[in-house]
Amino acid sequence: MNRVGIQMTNPSKLAQEFVETGKLRSLSIIDMHTHMGPFYGTFLPEAGLDRMLRMMDQENIEWIISAPHSALFDPIAGNSEIVQAMAQHPKRIYGYYTFNPNYADGLERDLADFAKHPGYVGFKLLPDYHKYPLTGDQLTPLYEFANDNGLLLLSHTWGHSPYNPPGMIAELARRYPRIKFLMGHSAPGECDRAIELAAELPNVYLELCDTHRLNGMVRKMVRAATSEKVLFGTDMPWYDPHYGLGCVLFSGIEDVEIANIMHHNAVRLLEEIGK
């Protein structure tokens, strides 16, 4: 397609720049949902930290927030990998402290240690995988800490799940108004309900990982909940951020809305932490 054709089918100057140069140079990208390191049972060629940083440079990703696979599934390794990555690459890699409620021993000690690592911006929960509901009592100290400090909380969400459906997010968001709840994947199967909650509750946000690929979904989220409630996330290294970026750029929304999703919302959320 020639340049004229691009302008006719998509008025976005950012999309035009992406097609002509291969990346966004005028707007840096922030990825709010990433992992790193090997994952059992599959091969992820871009999972190593060095490879991820190289991909970030290629795509003009300014910084990411990550929860390594080791923290998600290895209670012994815990969060050591993200602590090391944050120390090595400050302002490029921020971290979610990952908590598995099935291994709750030591949470109080780890929360006391949280402030020693300035790259931490919140928490990551994986209820469907850990088989523990978002509203379970083991998570109460974590929620209270996050609420006291105005932190982010990225949780895996899935429609009609007994562990992390949109309804549980709504209950927690009302109980803990200072936590910014990021609905990981935006609850596939109940995306409409997730969008309703983001529009209704000031501390609930939609996150695009996996759902960005659904035709019309980005535009639907923006029209119903505004672009200020939608966050760019890729699940990198599972998804190539190039693909996710294209899904947003060619969704038919305005450039100011694209900029909110790709950059401005993330900056604002980090600036609000602790206030």
Domain that holds residue 121: 3-272
pLDDT reported for residue 18: 93
Comparing 275 with 142, which gets the higher pLDDT? Answer: 142
Statement: residue 261 has pLDDT above 80: yes
Cα separations in angstroms, 184 against 32, 108, 191: 10, 25, 11
Statement: residue 81 has pLDDT above 90: yes
Statement: residue 275 has pLDDT above 80: no
**Cα–Cα distance measured from residue 173 to residue 254, given in angstroms and rounded to the nearest whole number:** 29
Distance from the Cα of residue 133 to its chain's centroid: 20
Q: Name the strand (E) or helix (H) holding 61.
A: strand 61-66
The answer, as to whether pTM is greater than 0.85, is yes
**CATH code at 177?**
3.20.20.140
* Listed range (13-17, 92-96, 104-108, 246-250) with the worst mean pLDDT: 104-108
DSSP code for 137:
G
5 phi and psi, to 5 degrees? -60, -40
pLDDT reported for residue 5: 46
Q: What is the band of 6 on the pLDDT scale with cuts at 50, 70, 90?
A: very low
Digit-coded pLDDT (tens) for 183-224? 999 999 999 999 999 999 999 999 999 888 888 899 999 999
Digit-coded pLDDT (tens) for 17-71? 999 998 899 999 999 999 999 998 888 999 999 999 999 999 999 999 999 999 9
* Number of domains observed in the structure of the chain: 1
Statement: residue 3 has pLDDT above 80: no
Ramachandran quadrant class, 112 (left: phi over 0; alpha: psi -120 to 50; beta: rest): alpha
pLDDT reported for residue 134: 98
Burial category of 105 from C-beta neighbours within 10 Å (exposed 0-12, middle 13-18, buried 19 and up): exposed
DSSP code for 101:
G
Using a pLDDT cut of 70, give the percent of the chain over it.
96
Burial category of 128 from C-beta neighbours within 10 Å (exposed 0-12, middle 13-18, buried 19 and up): middle
